[in-house]
């Protein structure tokens, strides 16, 4: 209809606010970090994971104080530019803001110490994996118009089943398959309730979460605790190095020396992207989530599309559940998912309901998570409990939509009545 | 999305016209939750028997001795549920004997001993009433407060802080202050997601969950640091006696004024929701936010208000548990109250009376579950399973209808899709 | 041999017999109009034909073959295509994606072949004169073009029998002419058409044969040359209908509403109202005509405080209200009959008596302090139900159980019963039956005669013409011209389509003969 025109008045205000935020953070870096270090201090960022790599890149050695001055300068400079002229995309601003602040913080926190940057990036990828799988589950379900808030419970079920199957069968691949099938099964319960019985999707998801926590805890205390070796000790999936690729400096150890679940996740992101946007199935899925009636009048089976997508989503969550047990510690602990399913939903929203976006934002959450662990090791003087809050607080900030607000599929969460 | 969750319109009951169908509808509406609970318990029984090693053994020989298989299953279930209800309601014979003894000899010891299980159930039900009301108020405003858990914990911490840090105050001042401390902490924890929802449209379900986790981490820090009592364990000091909710009977009976307070608050919430303009606004926003905005109702204010009330009630729930029962707070204090509260609010159809009844039921189940665990070795988590099932059955009446072949009165929607 | 025959179709919904024993035939190359007022069962019948509903009884024959249509897929396979009244288009997808949905062409069996489908769309466009850009997103297209996409969707599936459900409801008179041209080119290509409408003139203009439905039954059929509007109207409504709205000449007083240079962005921040000027005086009805989506909705929202404005001023009796909340505006005597009665106008799950005090619940006598007063609220409900002839078993039933007409009466009762200075009625009779329309129109004129300033916004041009003392034509967020009552449809239509006032030919301004037609 009418062409979108910028609203100059609104732009002015947000522009100045963003500029002010950047300058304020720049000053924060200056006063908090730069001024509290001494001139001669150095920070060492490790860029190699293990000593035996074929190509060893020299570690990054940064003078602490000048680096912080520089970063503060960048922040203030970009902030001033933003106030005066305005930067086009808020995405760039956020990137500059987050990168500079986190860098400044790390350089400051690791002053006079050595800090493995590659180690942290690599653990970010690993920690992002269950979040990404939960997010992908959300993407595919919500694109078809079904909100699945029961991802957390689904992952718990799958985590427990995979460890039990893995321990009994001794075959972790079978365990992985069992986790995926369990995820699909639990999701089919959710799908059945919301599609067939039109149960409120949030309530159904909550029931799945309560059942997930209840059943797995019940099984844990009734069976697993007494028979740890027979039932709850599966070992973990091996880490597989991809030939050649894993030898690339920095990227190699971060991306190509991982467990199969990490690889599967990355493959899934690519496949899902293609399926959603370049195949008939994806077109129908999106149509069903946006305007089910329109799809119905063209002979698309709305219910079938929703069932299949939700169940596939459940399988992703099942894979995510397997990460917690056979993918990392090899045993099941009660309520071990610790809100990752919900964080995945936030990653989905932040990623604008796209697979690639969801994965990228999961990496941010994974980074926040591993940062928190590293900082505990570095003993920065902040109580670890507060550092542990980081992923949750990041989630809440993301959900305010201050940074890149996106619109959910139009029929998301609404039951379809013929 | 959650505006669909609140289905009942209490004013409908005021219909004076005599209509047989409505009476049936009415009984159907009360029948449904009862059948949901019953079905949940039946499935719970199947889980209990199905995971019992002796039962499984017996069933392996089903074709040789079917009777023994059924007997084993029955024994397993009877032991478990016997322990559950014995542990929560007591033994009627003992109670009768206790009453007789009291009236004949004036000795109350036997009576008090016999009503101990009931007292414990009511003690357990007390925080459930508050927490169930908390979730119900959220539902009425179209908000899904899944974070009653965190608000409960924060409320407990708030009240215990007021309870132990102030000294020398008379009970008449100290107790209300401690309760207010709990309400305030819970209300704050609820207000944040409420504000984010109202202002930015941020999903309150995810945010309240995040607030739960933030609350747990914060409490870990508080209990290991600023609020830690001297000693090894990460627990707070006990509240001073002036801040305790007085108990009705001597130890070990823990029934206290918190229960009466819960009933009063339930009545207060009923009045607020259905008799005042505040409640009218909250319910309007919950039932149709667009119409509420059209009618001049301030949506932002009501979202925040509902979450403040909801969080405050959850906080009061935690306070009642601290001041009435435990008197101090340790790690893992909240232990699932928030999720139980969701089941209670749904089961009680977000109506205060329904919430009280549902809370009493869960008081009985939870109260007896501990005994069931010790007597029959059934993990308390069975209650969570039953709870999840009850939520499903209440939310999907179609399943119950199908199971029990109930046909609801037709003609619910007089008019649809014409033209 | 008819290409399509329906025999004894019967369909019931809880509480309603939507179709009773309906039979009709469609010959090849014929335009068969299905005439009936809102709620007569036209759409239900066509949804049965299209497989969206299953009939309780009756059978469908295509080319003399009895067929069982179990879903849209069956209908499509048998050459039936439907253009729905509410477009079945996914706004965030392109024309190509919408057209191919459900019937996708693929490359190497897996990937969508968008190019091929775009090509096919262009071919169809050229063949039938349906110009449209295949790469455009639906949300960016005006409704007239969206309708073309709907028709292309049907043709893409090679339908021979086309059902058009109220296709003219959202079009300007000139767009209607364009549509009729397209229809004729379809007939020339050998298609057969069922044309659903409640508009008498159109039927007489385009149809070869007319079947009239009333309350779910066939009440008669006719050939255009043999009947006139009066006769059709009587068949449709079942009683003699007065085709002229009776009202006195308006006696306008002082300006109540004055809008100057108003700019309003819509909810997504796109400009919707762009420098609008308008005033409404006491005792007159100003009608806002325009194709849906030209900023009417946002104008009404801005006037009632539901949407913040960007700049400009809104004065109510001389007081600036542009910063007021909806409640402050209500309290200053503005009544609002909203466009979407189920979204804004009613809380469907609330009983009638609560809906009747939706805007005044906090004021005496309905509340004392925070305490709601049950007795006055109930008395108010009972009184209004009687006064405004709301058909309901009781004031305690939920608003959702009422028919559309009665729901609208509840809103009208609530809004009209307050002391008001300005009445804003947006699509006040959309989807209602003739009885309710007559009633609501009567009430609006009554309010005008009491000295209330009335602003009516409607996409039904006939309604605007019937009610208004002055007609403001809105196009792309502006009032492009204000015409006196009695302006011709052609004149209004050209303005609605964006023709500049100075470019309107005099021939279009000539007053057409005959009385103003009433709206159905």
| Assigned token pair, B354 | 């329904």
- Averaged over C379-402, what is the pLDDT? 92
Interatomic CA distance for residues A202 and B174, integer angstroms: 40
- Between CA C47 and CA C34 the distance in angstroms is 13
Task: Residue B225: list chain A partners with CB under 8 A.
Answer: 383
Q: Render the burial of C193-227: b for 16+ CB within 10 Å, e for the rest.
A: bbbbbbbbebbbebbbbbbbbbbbebbbbbebeeb
Alpha helices in C15-58 (DSSP H): 42-49
Provide the phi-psi class of B14: left if phi over 0, else alpha when psi is between -120 and 50, else beta: alpha
Q: What is the pLDDT of residue A319?
A: 96
Tens digit of pLDDT for each residue in B332-381? 776 778 878 988 998 888 999 999 999 999 999 988 888 888 888 889 89
Provide, as residue numbers in chain A, all residues whose Cβ is less than 8 Å from the Cβ of C102: 284, 295, 298-300
C-alpha to C-alpha distance for B417 and B28, rounded to whole angstroms: 27
pLDDT for C6 beyond 80:
yes
Q: Give the pLDDT confidence of B172-196 residue by residue, as tens digits.
A: 999 999 999 999 999 999 999 999 9
Q: C-alpha angle A261/A262/A265, rounded to 5°?
A: 85
Instruction: Name residue, tokens 């979202």.
Output: B303
Q: CB A410 to CB C110 under 8 A?
A: no
Given pLDDT bands bounded at 50, 70 and 90, which one contains residue C243? low
Average pLDDT for residues A332-352, to the nearest whole number? 88
Counting residues of chain A whose pLDDT is more than 70, the rounded percentage is: 93
A51 contacts: CB under 8 Å, gap ≥ 6: none
Q: Which residues contact B22 (CB under 8 A, 6 or more apart)?
A: B15
pLDDT at residue B411 is higher than 70? no
Mean pLDDT of chain A: 86
The yes-or-no verdict on residue C402 having pLDDT over 60 is: yes
Is A417's Cβ below 8 Å from some Cβ in C? no
Which residue of chain A has the CA closest to B337?
A: A210
Among B174, B176, B177, B206, smallest CA distance to B192 is for B206
- C67 beta partners: C60
Write the burial class of residue A261 (CB in 10 Å: 0-12 exposed, 13-18 middle, 19+ buried).
buried
| pLDDT reported for residue B407 | 67
For β-strands A42-46 and C367-368, DSSP reports them as: unpaired
How many C-beta neighbours within 10 Å does residue B103 have? 10
Q: How do residues A130-149 score in pLDDT, each as one tens digit?
A: 999 999 999 999 999 999 99
Q: Point out which residues pair with A43 in neighbouring strands.
A: A62, A111
**Chain C residues with CB inside 8 Å of A286's CB?**
90, 93
DSSP letter for each residue of B229-283: PSSSSSBPPPPPGGGSPPBSSSTT---BHHHHHHHHHHHHHHHHHHHBHHHHHHH
Answer yes or no: is pLDDT of B13 > 50. Answer: no
Report A:211-270 residues touching C (Cβ under 8 A).
none
**Distance of alpha carbon B279 from the chain centroid:** 21
Picking from B284, B293, B413, the nearest residue to C401 by CB comes out as B413
Of C102, C293, C477, the CB nearest to A298: C102
Query: What local confidence, expressed as pLDDT, does residue A129 receive?
Result: 95
- Give the separation between CA B318 and CA B332, rounded to whole angstroms: 12
Q: Please report, for residues A116, A256, A320, the alpha-carbon distance to residue A126 in angstroms, rounded to integers and kept in the order given.
A: 15, 11, 11
Token representation of residue B355? 């919430």
Least confident of B207-211, B369-373, C13-17, C438-442: C13-17
* pLDDT band at C516; cut points 50, 70, 90: very low
Q: Please compute, for residue C234, the number of CA atoms within 13 A of its CA located in the half-sphere on the CB side.
A: 8
User: E-assigned strands of C122-200?
Assistant: 161-165, 192-197
Name the β-bridge partners of A240. A258
Choose the closest CB to B418 out of C16, C305, C336. C16
Contact B387 A401 (CB under 8 A): no
Confidence of residue B65 (pLDDT cuts 50, 70, 90): confident
pTM: 0.86
Q: Which of A197, A339, A413 sits opposite B209 (nearest CB)?
A: A339
pLDDT at B304 over 90: yes
With pLDDT > 90 as the criterion, what percentage of chain B qualifies?
A: 49
Q: What residue has token string 């606004």?
A: B281
- What is the Cα–Cα distance from C282 to C256, expressed in whole angstroms? 6
More confident call, A281 vs B405: A281
Whether residue A55 has pLDDT greater than 70: no
For range A18-39, the mean pLDDT: 84
Lowest mean pLDDT among A288-297, A398-407, B48-57, C31-40: A398-407
CA distance B320 to B256: 9
Residues A323 and A134: beta-carbon distance below 8 Å: no
Rg of chain C, C-alpha, whole Å: 24
Which chains have 3+ CB pairs within 8 A of B? A, C
How many CB atoms lie under 10 A from the CB of residue C187? 18
Lowest mean per-residue pLDDT among A106-115, A400-409, C274-283, C328-337: A400-409
Contact B202 A400 (CB under 8 A): yes
Q: Say yes or no: A297 contacts chain C, CB-CB below 8 A.
A: yes
Q: Is C347 on the interface with A (CB under 8 A)?
A: no
Cα C462 to the center of its chain, rounded Å: 12
Report in angstroms the alpha-carbon separations of C452 from B206, C313, C358: 49, 21, 21
pLDDT at A402: 66
Q: How confident is the model at residue C492 (pLDDT cuts 50, 70, 90)?
A: very high
Token pair listed for B217: 């981490």
Q: Nearest Cα to C311, choosing from C279, C278, C275?
A: C275
Q: How far from chain centre, in Å, is Cα C465?
A: 15
Q: Which residues of A touch C299 (CB under 8 A)?
A: none
B-chain residues near A203 (CB < 8 A): 5, 346, 391, 395
| Cα–Cα distance, A351 to A136 (Å, whole number) | 10
Contacts of C370 (CB under 8 A, 6+ apart): B276, B277, B278
**How many secondary structure helices (H) and strands (E) does chain C include?**
17, 24
CA distance B94 to chain C (A): 48
Helix (H, G, I), strand (E, B) or coil at B114: helix
Q: Phi and psi dihedrals of C105, rounded to 5? A: -95, 135
pLDDT of A338: 84
Give, as one character, the DSSP assignment of residue B325.
I
Q: How does residue C410 score in pLDDT terms, banded at 50, 70 and 90?
A: very high
Identify the helix (H) or strand (E) that includes residue C160: none
Residues in C closer than 8 angstroms to B283, CB to CB, are 350
- CA–CA distance from B277 to each of A244, B272, C348, C352, C381 (Å)? 71, 8, 19, 17, 17
Distance CA C4, CA B305 (A): 60
The ipTM estimated for the assembled molecules is 0.85
pLDDT tens readout for residues A357-391: 999 989 988 988 888 888 777 777 778 888 888 88
Q: Mean per-residue pLDDT for B199-203? A: 84
In angstroms, rounded to a whole number, what is the distance separating the alpha carbons of residues B158 and B151? 10
Distance of CA C263 to the CA centre of its chain: 26
CA distance A314 to A138: 9
Backbone angles phi, psi at A352, to 5 degrees: 55, 40
Whether a cis peptide bond, with omega within 30° of 0, leads into A253 is no
pLDDT digits (tens, 9 = 90+) for B246-276: 999 888 889 999 999 999 999 999 999 999 9
| CA nearest to B208 within chain A | A396
A218 and B385 in contact by Cβ < 8 A? yes
What pLDDT band is residue A1 in, cutting at 50, 70 and 90? Answer: very low
**Distance of alpha carbon B54 from alpha carbon B418, whole angstroms:** 61
Confidence of residue A88 (pLDDT cuts 50, 70, 90): low
């Amino acid at each position: 209809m009418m062409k979108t025109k910028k609203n100059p008045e609104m732009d002015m205000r947000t522009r100045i606010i963003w500029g002010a935020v950047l300058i304020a953070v720049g000053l924060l870096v200056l006063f908090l970090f730069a001024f509290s270090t001494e001139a001669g201090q150095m920070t060492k960022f490790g860029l190699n994971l293990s000593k035996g790599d074929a190509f060893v890149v020299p570690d990054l050695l940064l003078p602490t104080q000048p680096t912080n001055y520089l970063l503060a300068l960048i922040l203030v400079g970009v902030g001033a530019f933003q106030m005066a002229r305005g930067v086009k995309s808020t995405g760039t601003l956020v990137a500059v803001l987050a990168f500079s602040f986190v860098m400044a913080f790390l350089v400051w926190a690791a002053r006079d110490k050595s800090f493995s940057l590659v180690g942290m990036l690599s653990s970010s990828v690993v920690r992002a994996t269950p979040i990404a799988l939960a997010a992908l589950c959300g993407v595919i379900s919500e694109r078809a118009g079904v909100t699945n808030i029961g991802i957390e419970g689904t992952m718990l079920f799958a985590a427990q089943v995979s460890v039990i199957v893995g321990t009994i069968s001794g075959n972790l691949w079978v365990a992985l398959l069992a986790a995926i099938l369990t995820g699909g099964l639990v999701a089919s319960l959710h799908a059945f309730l919301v599609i067939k019985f039109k149960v409120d999707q949030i309530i159904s998801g909550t029931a799945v979460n309560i059942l997930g926590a209840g059943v797995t805890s019940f099984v844990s205390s009734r069976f697993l605790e007494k028979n740890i070796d027979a039932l709850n000790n599966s070992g973990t999936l091996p880490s597989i190095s991809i030939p050649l690729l894993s030898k690339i400096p920095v990227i190699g150890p971060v991306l190509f020396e991982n467990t199969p679940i990490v690889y599967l996740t990355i493959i899934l992101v690519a496949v899902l992207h293609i399926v959603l946007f370049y195949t008939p199935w994806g077109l129908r899925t999106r149509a069903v989530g946006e305007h089910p009636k329109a799809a119905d009048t063209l002979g698309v089976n709305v219910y079938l599309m929703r069932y299949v997508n939700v169940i596939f989503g459940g399988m992703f969550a099942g894979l995510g559940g397997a990460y917690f047990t056979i993918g990392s510690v090899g045993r099941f602990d009660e309520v071990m998912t610790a809100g990752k399913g919900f964080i995945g939903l936030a990653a989905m929203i932040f990623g604008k309901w796209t697979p690639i976006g969801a994965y990228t934002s999961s990496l941010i959450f994974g980074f926040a998570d591993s940062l928190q662990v590293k900082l505990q090791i570095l003993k920065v003087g902040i109580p670890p409990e507060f550092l542990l809050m980081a992923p949750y607080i990041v989630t809440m900030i993301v959900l305010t939509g201050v940074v890149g607000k996106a619109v959910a599929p139009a029929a998301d969460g609404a039951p379809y009545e013929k | 999305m959650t505006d669909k969750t609140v289905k009942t319109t209490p004013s409908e009951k005021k219909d004076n016209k005599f209509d047989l169908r409505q009476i049936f509808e009415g009984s159907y509406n009360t029948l449904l939750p009862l059948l949901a609970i019953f079905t949940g318990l039946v499935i719970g029984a199947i889980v209990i028997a199905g995971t019992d090693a002796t039962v499984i053994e017996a069933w392996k020989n089903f074709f040789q001795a079917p009777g023994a298989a059924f007997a084993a299953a029955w024994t397993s279930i009877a032991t478990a549920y016997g322990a559950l209800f014995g542990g929560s309601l007591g033994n009627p014979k003992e109670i009768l004997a206790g009453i007789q003894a009291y009236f004949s000899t004036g000795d109350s010891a036997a009576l008090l001993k016999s009503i101990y299980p009931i007292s414990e159930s009511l003690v357990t039900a007390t925080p459930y009433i508050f927490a169930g009301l908390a979730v119900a108020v959220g539902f009425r405003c179209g908000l899904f407060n899944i974070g009653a858990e965190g608000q409960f914990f924060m409320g407990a911490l708030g009240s215990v802080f007021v309870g132990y840090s102030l000294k020398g105050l008379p009970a008449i001042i100290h107790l209300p202050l401690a309760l207010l401390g709990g309400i305030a902490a819970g209300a704050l924890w609820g207000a944040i997601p409420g504000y984010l929802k109202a202002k930015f449209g941020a999903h309150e379900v995810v945010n309240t969950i995040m607030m739960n986790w933030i609350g747990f981490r914060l409490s870990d820090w508080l209990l290991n640091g600023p609020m830690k009592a001297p000693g090894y364990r990460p627990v707070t000091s006990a509240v001073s006696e002036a801040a305790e909710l007085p108990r009705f009977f001597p130890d070990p009976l823990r029934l206290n004024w918190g229960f009466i307070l819960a009933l009063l608050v339930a009545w207060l919430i009923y009045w607020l929701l259905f008799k005042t303009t505040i409640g009218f606004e909250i319910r309007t926003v919950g039932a149709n936010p667009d119409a509420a905005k059209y009618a001049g109702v301030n949506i932002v204010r009501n979202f925040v208000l509902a979450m403040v009330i909801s969080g405050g009630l959850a906080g009061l729930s935690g306070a009642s548990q601290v001041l009435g029962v435990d008197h101090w707070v340790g790690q893992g204090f909240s232990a699932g109250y928030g999720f139980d509260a969701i089941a209670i609010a749904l089961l009680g159809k977000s109506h205060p009376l329904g919430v009280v009844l549902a809370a009493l039921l869960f008081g009985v189940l939870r109260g007896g579950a501990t005994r069931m665990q010790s007597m029959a070795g059934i993990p308390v988590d069975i209650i969570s399973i039953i709870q999840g099932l009850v939520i499903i059955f209440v939310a999907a009446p179609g399943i119950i209808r199908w199971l029990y072949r109930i046909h609801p009165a037709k003609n619910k929607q007089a008019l649809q899709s014409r033209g | 041999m008819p290409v399509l025959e329906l025999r004894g179709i019967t369909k019931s919904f809880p509480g309603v017999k939507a179709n009773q024993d309906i039979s009709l035939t469609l010959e090849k190359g014929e335009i068969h109009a299905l005439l009936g007022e809102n709620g007569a069962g036209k759409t239900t019948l066509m949804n049965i034909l299209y497989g969206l509903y299953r009939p309780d009884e009756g059978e469908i024959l295509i080319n003399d073959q009895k067929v069982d249509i179990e879903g849209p897929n069956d209908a499509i396979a048998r050459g039936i295509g439907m253009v729905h009244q509410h477009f079945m288009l996914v706004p965030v997808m392109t024309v190509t994606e919408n057209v191919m949905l459900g019937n996708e062409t693929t490359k190497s069996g897996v990937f969508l072949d968008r190019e091929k489908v775009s090509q096919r769309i262009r071919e169809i466009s050229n063949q039938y004169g349906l110009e449209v850009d295949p790469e455009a997103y639906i949300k960016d297209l005006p409704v007239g073009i969206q309708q073309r996409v709907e028709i292309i969707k049907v043709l893409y599936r090679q339908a021979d029998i086309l059902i058009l459900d109220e296709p003219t409801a959202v079009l300007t008179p000139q767009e209607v002419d364009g549509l009729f041209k397209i229809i004729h080119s379809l007939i020339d290509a050998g298609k057969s058409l069922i044309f659903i409408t409640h508009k008498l003139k159109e039927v007489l203009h385009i149809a070869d044969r007319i079947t009239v439905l009333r309350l779910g039954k066939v009440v008669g059929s006719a050939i255009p040359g043999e009947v006139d509007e009066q006769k059709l109207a009587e068949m449709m409504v079942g009683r003699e209908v007065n085709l002229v709205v009776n009202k006195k000449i308006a006696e306008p007083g002082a300006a109540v509403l004055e809008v100057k240079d108003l700019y309003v962005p819509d909810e997504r921040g796109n400009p919707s109202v762009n420098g609008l000027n308008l005033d409404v005086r006491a005792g007159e009805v100003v009608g806002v005509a325009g194709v849906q989506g030209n900023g009417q909705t946002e104008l009404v929202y801005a006037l009632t405080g539901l949407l913040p404005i960007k700049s400009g001023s809104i004065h109510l009796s001389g007081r600036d209200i542009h910063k007021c909340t909806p409640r402050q505006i209500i309290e200053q005597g503005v009544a609002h009959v909203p466009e979407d009665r189920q979204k804004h106008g009613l809380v469907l799950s609330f009983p009638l008596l609560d809906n009747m005090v939706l805007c005044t619940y906090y004021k005496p006598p309905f509340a004392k302090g925070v305490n709601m007063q049950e007795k006055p609220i109930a008395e108010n409900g009972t009184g209004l139900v009687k006064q405004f002839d709301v058909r309901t078993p009781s004031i305690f039933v939920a608003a959702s159980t009422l028919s559309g007409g009665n729901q609208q009466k509840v809103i009208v009762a609530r809004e009209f019963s307050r002391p008001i200075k300005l009445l804003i009625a947006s699509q006040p009779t959309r989807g209602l039956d003739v009885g309710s329309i007559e009633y609501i129109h009567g009430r609006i004129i009554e309010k005008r005669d009491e000295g209330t300033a009335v602003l009516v916004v409607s996409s039904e041009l006939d309604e605007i013409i019937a009610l208004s003392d002055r007609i403001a034509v809105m196009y792309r967020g502006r009032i492009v011209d204000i015409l006196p009552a009695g302006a011709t449809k052609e004149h209004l239509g050209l303005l609605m389509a964006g023709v500049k006032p100075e470019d309107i030919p005099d021939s279009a301004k000539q007053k057409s003969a005959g009385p103003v037609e009433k709206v159905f």
